[in-house]
Amino acid sequence: GAVVSQHPSRVICKSGTSVKIECRSLDFQATTMFWYRQFPKKSLMLMATSNEGSKATYEQGVEKDKFLINHASLTLSTLTVTSAHPEDSSFYICSARGEPSDQETQYFGPGTRLLVL
């Protein structure tokens, strides 16, 4: 199946700093990528839909100025957590849509664990 990577796999930062997380589709082009957040023992929560060359679509309750998403190419989307606070500590997962005829529909990255001190 197709491969989606995320970088970094884990990051620790100080409160007030910004952190950028990269999501790459390694062997296919993804016009749409999705960003999720997952707290311990909880399910994945969709944050936003990232479309190549256009503005991201954010889910209700997700601050777009807090979580900046850029999808500058067909293989890369970035999520920047601005002015991070301890409550932003979470597991962030991206996914990328494969070819329309692909049964697997969405390929998920390995996730990025963010810890804000």
Partner 1 sequence: LAKTTQPISMDSYEGQEVNITCSHNNIATNDYITWYQQFPSQGPRFIIQGYKTKVTNEVASLFIPADRKSSTLSLPRVSLSDTAVYYCLVGDSPNTGFQKLVFGTGTRLLVSP
Comparison of 13 and 44: residue with beta carbon closer to partner 1: 44
Residue 4 · residue 109 · CB < 8 Å: yes
108 CB-side CA count, 13 A: 11
Tokens of 30: 């993804």
* Torsion angle, alpha carbons of 13, 10, 55, 88, to 10: -50
- The verdict on 90 binding partner 1 (CB under 8 A) reads no
Contacting range for partner 1; rule: CB under 8 A; set: 11-19, 72-80, 81-89, 94-102: 94-102
- The verdict on 91 binding partner 1 (CB under 8 A) reads yes
Q: Least distance in Å: CB of 80 to partner 1?
A: 20
- The verdict on 108 binding partner 1 (CB under 8 A) reads yes
88 — phi, psi (to 5°)?
-85, -5
String marking each residue 7-46 x if it binds partner 1 according to CB under 8 A: -------------------------x-x-x------xxxx
How many residues lie near partner 1 (CB under 8 A)?
A: 28
Unique residue bearing structure tokens 């296919």: 28
Angstrom distance (rounded) from CA 56 to CA 46: 12
**Residue ranges that bind partner 1, judged by CB under 8 A:** 1, 4, 6, 32, 34, 36, 43-46, 49, 91, 93, 95, 97, 100-111, 113
